[in-house]
Amino acid sequence: MKLGLRARVALTFGILSLVVAVAVSGTTYALARVYLLNQRETAALTRALLDARAASASLDAGTDPAKVLDQIPSVGTSQPLLFVDGEWFTTGVTVSPESLPPDLTAVTAEAGGAWQRFGVGSDPYLAVAVALPAGLYVEVFPLLDLETTFVIAGWVVFGLAVMSFGVGGGVGRYAGIRILRPLRKISDGAQQVAAGDYSVRLQATGDADLDQISDSFNEMAIAVQSQISRERRFTANVSHELRSPLTSVLGTAELLERRRDSFDERDAKIVDVLARQVRRMSQMVLDLLEISSVTADSDLQWETADIMSLCARVLDDRGLPEHLLHGKSTLVHTDARRFERILGNLVDNAQRHGGGVSRIEITPPAGDPQAVVITVDDEGPGIDKEEAMRLFEPFARGSGSAGTDGAGLGLALVREQSRRLGAEVVISENPAGQGARFTLTMPVGEA
């Protein structure tokens, strides 16, 4: 799964912080380790040489080798060992002579002195050997405390690296949010424009780079609003100009239709076709006028009404039986005239193209107390998902609408009227069987 931009920015900041922290802290740790080891080795060499001189002086004075080590001052936790006349002498039992590295004594015999790090079990030690005229002096220094310090420092470095990754990721996330905030506003504005709100504008942020994007978006929104306004005015003007002559033509066609019995069969059929097409054109002009008035954002007439009564009135006006209506009475705050127009278009669409209305159900607020759902089911062949995406566009007709009247403006009116009421209408398959289901979800308001 591809990460989003915000996640990628946060991850990049985190990785960059981790790399920098590992590089800096790792280098510091390595330098500190080398420095501390060198300091400890230097101090151990100095201490062993001084103690070797003291032991050599005691042996030259004729002191017994067993008592020589007792005369060496004890500093820290080092352990001295003395090899004289083929015998080892020591004041401690931490490191036995057998535990010393074999190469240490061999190199010391040749070079006069040597030092080497070795381990006894899991404990590290540093052994310094100095050749004496009477034998060999060895002093062993424990390094466990230094190794413990290194382990603690290593965990601290690891913790700091993890912390830097978290801090860097947090900074990256914050930076991503700040970077994406203007883009999110642009996205929200584009969605509002796509939903039909062409008045949306973006505020200037004060950033010269981002303000260029905001200005471009605002210019685009102004151009779209201007273009849509011109198209709406043109549609309204054309529809208005056509209304008067169409009324005259419709009156003439209806007059001829009433006198069709006086014509021969061929002329009577022509009169029938003429009257039907004139009525269709007249209805189309009325729908275009209504779409123009709806999209012009005319004022709404808000009132509190019973949604059940409004649905029953729509069925009664169309001569449909009331038993098709199911649900409970629910008060809503809406524009009753526009709601009746929405439901009426859905019912007309089902009657004309969907084989008739089979059920209208009102679901009162339950899970969402702020919305009521009205479903209109038909008995038609159903609607493909690809067709459902475009049926709410003006002049769009489904594949099952061939041979039926209508210009494909009814569902476009439904969408525009629903948008004005803050409602949403979607198409889906009828779960009860064949046919389509139109679902209208509208706010209850302050009913």
Q: Residues 30-87: pLDDT tens digits? A: 898 889 889 988 988 888 888 888 888 888 888 888 788 877 776 667 888 888 888 8
What per-residue confidence (pLDDT) applies to 402? 46
What per-residue confidence (pLDDT) applies to 97? 84
What per-residue confidence (pLDDT) applies to 107? 82
Helix (H), strand (E) at residue 212: helix 208-258
327 forms bridges with which residues in the sheet? 362
Distances (CA, A) of 437 to 179, 289, 411, 425: 43, 28, 13, 10
Count Cβ atoms below 10 Å from residue 437 Cβ, excluding itself. Answer: 21
Query: What percentage of the chain reaches a pLDDT higher than 90?
Result: 4
pLDDT tens digit sequence for 165-175: 888 888 888 87
Mean pLDDT over 334-341 rounds to 87
Q: What is the mean pLDDT of the chain?
A: 81
Q: Which CATH class is domain 5-150?
A: alpha beta
Mean pLDDT over 400-420 rounds to 68
Structure tokens at 404: 């039926």
pLDDT bracket for residue 405 (50, 70, 90) = low
Helix 265-295, helix 208-258: angle, nearest 10: 150
- For 303-443, CATH number out of 3.20.20.80, 3.30.565.10, 3.10.20.70, 2.30.330.10 equals 3.30.565.10
pTM score over 0.85:
no
Query: For residue 283, is pLDDT > 80?
Result: no
DSSP helix/strand/coil, 200: coil
pLDDT tens digit sequence for 353-380: 888 898 899 987 666 678 889 999 988 8
pLDDT bracket for residue 325 (50, 70, 90) = very high
Collect all residues with Cβ–Cβ distance below 8 Å to 246 and sequence separation of at least 6: 278, 281, 282, 285
Query: For residue 203, is pLDDT > 50?
Result: yes
pLDDT bracket for residue 297 (50, 70, 90) = low
Long-range CB pairs of 243-250, under 8 A, 24+ apart, other chains included: 243/285, 243/286, 243/289, 246/278, 246/281, 246/282, 246/285, 247/282, 249/278, 250/278, 250/279, 250/282
What per-residue confidence (pLDDT) applies to 291? 61
Distances (CA, A) of 18 to 21, 33, 155, 234, 439: 5, 21, 15, 63, 53
What per-residue confidence (pLDDT) applies to 407? 54
What per-residue confidence (pLDDT) applies to 298? 56
The DSSP code sequence of 279-302 is HHHHHHHHHHHHHHHHHTTPPP--
Task: Give the integer Cα–Cα distance in Å for 158 and 17.
Answer: 13
Query: For residue 395, is pLDDT > 70?
Result: no
- For 208-295, CATH number out of 3.30.1360.120, 1.10.287.130, 3.30.365.10, 3.40.309.10 equals 1.10.287.130
The reply to whether 208-295 and 303-443 are identical in fold is no
Cβ(337)–Cβ(399) under 8 Å? Answer: no
Report which of residues 393 and 15 the model is more confident about.
15
What per-residue confidence (pLDDT) applies to 361? 92
What per-residue confidence (pLDDT) applies to 312? 92
Task: Give the integer Cα–Cα distance in Å for 206 and 91.
Answer: 80
The residue type of 76 is G
Domains of the chain, by residue range, sit at 5-150, 208-295, 303-443
What per-residue confidence (pLDDT) applies to 26? 86
Report which of residues 313 and 207 the model is more confident about.
313
